[in-house]
Amino acid sequence: MGLQIPMREQSVSNTAEDYLKAVLKIEDRNEKASTSKVARHLEVNDSTVTDMLRKLQSAGLLEYTPYYGATLTPRGRAVALRILRRHRLIELFLHQIMGYGWEQVHEEAERLEHAVSDFFVERIDALMNYPVQDPHGEVIPDERGFRERENDVCLALAEVGDYTIKKVIDSSPELLTYLEKESLVPARSFTLLEKAPFQGPLKLRIHGTHTSSHIGLDVAKRLGSRSTILWFRSSATVVAKTAEQLMAHWIQNQVPTCCSTE
């Protein structure tokens, strides 16, 4: 029997779930989850974060080292993956079934992810035919917490060439509205024509259009793209038999996303 992401632990509050999810997202970018980074992510002050990280450490959900930051334990990671799965499935449901704009889904999902039952989430999963990506192109962990390893490159670091947009790592409604207007949405292909020096803008031509557009480096940092030439999708599925192997997989399965947006 495989290890399932635990049913909601009664001791884990909504706030704790938000903290664990924030740490997971920071770790996903291969960055250190420092107190200040978690604070910025959750828009709270540093001392509030320190208190909460200590509590989560006593609950065995993360390791916290003052002046360094937090690292999820396997149990904390399982809780974080569970809430991330809920969030992304709910976003997709709101977008595809309920007709929400992709810039509207995040805030609603932030509330619903804590409220709906596991049954509700699994019904969404089945109804949507077990999707692997949310409306922003982010990977939805499966019910065991697996996520396929991604080979995306942050557009800000990409060389001149042909690419397909895989995901947007920012949920700000203003940015998403702008990207949609510029046709910079997941699955759209484009040619990166030029990168201006000194952190200057990028010149792109969206395939299927004749005009080229410029985007700022700050926007490019939020777009995960994949080279069209090197595009491939691994069909390998990790089959792990024991709980230890699954835990090890969660730990190793750092999903590289975009470059730091700080």
Residue 40 beta carbon to Zn ion: minimum distance, rounded to whole angstroms: 17
Among 35, 73, 104, 171, binds Zn ion (CB under 5 A): 171
Residue 192 beta carbon to Zn ion: minimum distance, rounded to whole angstroms: 26
Q: Which stretch binds Zn ion (CB under 5 A): 29-37, 167-175, 200-208, 239-247?
A: 167-175
Residue 92 beta carbon to Zn ion: minimum distance, rounded to whole angstroms: 10
Q: Which stretch binds Zn ion (CB under 5 A): 37-45, 163-171, 193-201, 212-220?
A: 163-171
Whole-number Cα distances in Å, 255 to 139, 147, 190, 242, 250: 9, 8, 24, 22, 10
Please provide the distance, in angstroms rounded to a whole number, between the alpha carbons at the two ends of the chain. 42
User: Which residue's Cβ lies closest to Zn ion?
Assistant: 106
Check binding of 106 to Zn ion (CB under 5 A): yes
In the numeric block, the tokens 């990168």 are attached to 195
How many residues bind to Zn ion according to rule CB under 5 A? Answer: 2
C-beta of residue 116 within 8 angstroms of C-beta of residue 96 = no
C-beta of residue 190 within 8 angstroms of C-beta of residue 206 = yes
Alpha-carbon torsion, ordered 140, 141, 146, 147, to 10 deg: 30
Contact letters for Zn ion, residues 17-56 (x by CB under 5 A): ----------------------------------------
Side chain identity at residue 177, one-letter code: T
Tell me the chain's radius of gyration from C-alpha atoms: 19
User: Could you list the residues that contact Zn ion (CB under 5 A)?
Assistant: 106, 171
